[in-house]
Amino acid sequence: MATQIITLVGVLIGALTSYFATTMTERTKLRHLMATRWDERKLDTYIEYVSCIKEIQRAAMDAGRARDEGEDASAALALMEEAENKRSVLFETFVLLSDEKAAAAAHAVNQRAWELLRAARRPSNGAAPLRSIPLVETLNVLHEAARSDLTITGNAPASR
């Protein structure tokens, strides 16, 4: 009878060990899956946000160019405003998903984008004043912060 009890205790210990090992493995897999899922969402948000900033920049430059050439800039200004509305919404997601460094860099990009928007909205300004706003430099800082947040290593080319 003692050997049966020892055998039963051994089976019980084996079952518990197997259960805990499986549980720990599944938790680790779930944590990894969740981290990967959020990293994918972060990457998508970062790409959308930066693309939106580029749309604002392009439309503002087109508006300035149109004014310099004496043409109607309303279509470019409408595109710029549409991109700004989209940027505003994307920024909230960006801040929710990013780390502090990337969020701070995005705040700096917002400041430069707003300067660009103000300059493009003024009828007297042309493309030359718009070019003086250092948006590209702040975007480069944002790219670096986003790469760090996503733990992407290696050298990246500067944005254009």
pLDDT in tens, 71-119: 899 999 999 999 999 999 999 999 999 999 999 999 999 999 999 998 8
Half-sphere exposure of 89 (CA within 13 A, CB side): 7
pLDDT value for 26? 85
Residue 43 pLDDT greater than 60, yes or no: yes
State mean pLDDT over 13-29.
87
